[in-house]
Amino acid sequence: MPRCISRPGKAVLGIALVVLLSPTLVWAQDVPRVRLVATGGTISNRTGGRLTAEELVASMPGIERYAKPEFEQFSNLASSELTLDQWVTLARRLNEIFRTDPAIAGLVVTSGTDTLEELAYFLDLTVRSDKPVVVVGSMRNPSTLGYEGAANLLEGFRVAASPDARGKGTLVVLNDEINAAREVTKTDALRLNTFQTRGYGILGVVDADRVAFYRAPLKRHTARSEFDIASVPKLPRVDVLLVYQGADGDLIKAAADAGAKGIVVAGAGAGATSGTQQDGIDYATKKGVFVVTTTRAGAGRIASGRGGRGRGNAGPPPDEISRRIAGEDLAPVKARVLLMLALTRTSDPAEIQRMFTEY
């Protein structure tokens, strides 16, 4: 049986390393070390009590063929219960592991699937190593027939152990598929194939014989990121608001009055607003709030100058543009992540637009 050895550390709920001493387990020669950093989620949410990081590692049959697993328990919560402060702490912890343990091959992070894509993109921008961070979860809990968590976790370890995963940023692995953190979206509330990359497709697959990659992300991430989370005391408030027919701009004004430093507008089509929302945007930008235009369509790029007063592609007049940022092809929730980090570094509109272009 595995034996856990604890050591002092800065993780929220402690650290443990798996040391496998059983003579019945034989490691494949020179398999890499991979550490699980568990945060909770459905993958752990067993009836009567949550699975621990140790129990998750023990659930993977055949792991010895691919990696020497280690684990630590960061938290054990639903993903929607993690705070932004915990996001910051988690990113710092992952950076600390890579900095202090250069022999580690990669990291696996468990997360609830509801906000997994947001956490994964945050780590993609803040973990500054070319070694892989792989985020995994499950759609069914451990007490449900057909629970796929152990399979997803094993595949996450395999990807994190793969030399081919280096330099590809934070990866999301579920249902035998590898997606880029920047691009992947949860597309179905219940189905196992929920995580997809619309328009661009998967990065690769995890099959019985090997981990196979077909492409790599081109946008800046991880080791090439300029965002240093070590010096960030707190992430600024950024809200997301949806465009719908006859929408009132008062909600945008309320967000600005409540202290939002940025607002992401999930626009109709290529960024159009409706109702009195443009009045709300004008109010917010005059108060110094940055407004990023994205699309609620699920795919598509917002180019600079698009969006505005519900006038199709005409866009806002020049005097309104200074704090209006084109969200490119980022989903609204991911544009929020990037804007939060951008605002920790600058209040220059041109610099923020550059970041949305490069990331």
> Where in the chain are the domains?
3-224, 237-358
pLDDT in tens, 170-227: 999 999 999 999 999 999 999 999 999 999 999 999 999 999 999 999 999 999 999 9
CATH of 237-358, one of 3.30.365.10, 2.102.10.10, 3.40.50.720, 3.40.50.40: 3.40.50.40
Strands 185-186 and 177-180: unpaired
Residues of the chain with pLDDT > 70, as a percent, come to: 87
Per DSSP, the chain holds a count of helices (H) and strands (E) of: 8, 16
Q: What is the pTM of this model?
A: 0.90
Active site residue 52: no
Give 323-357 pLDDT, tens digit per residue.
Answer: 999 999 999 999 999 999 999 999 999 999 999 99
Give yes or no on whether 3-224 and 237-358 have one common fold.
yes
Neighbours of 317 (CB within 10 A): 9
67 closest CA partner among 36, 101, 33: 33
The three state secondary structure string of 234-264 is CCCCEEEEECCCCCCCHHHHHHHHCCCCEEE
pLDDT tens-digit series, residues 287-309: 999 999 999 999 999 998 754 44
* Amino acid at residue number 150: A
User: Cα(280)–Cα(275) distance, rounded to whole angstroms?
Assistant: 10
Task: Please list the alpha-helical segments (H only) found in the chain.
Answer: 53-58, 84-100, 116-126, 149-161, 250-257, 277-286, 332-343, 349-358
Q: Please report, as a single letter, which amino acid is at residue 235.
A: L
Select 3-224's CATH number: 1.20.950.20, 3.40.50.720, 3.40.50.1170, 3.40.190.10: 3.40.50.1170
Q: How far apart are CA 85 and CA 88, in angstroms?
A: 5
Q: How far is CA 173 from the centre of its chain?
A: 12
Binned at pLDDT 50, 70 and 90, residue 322 comes out as: confident
Residues found in the chain: 359
Q: Which of 42, 110, 194, 295 is catalytic?
A: 42
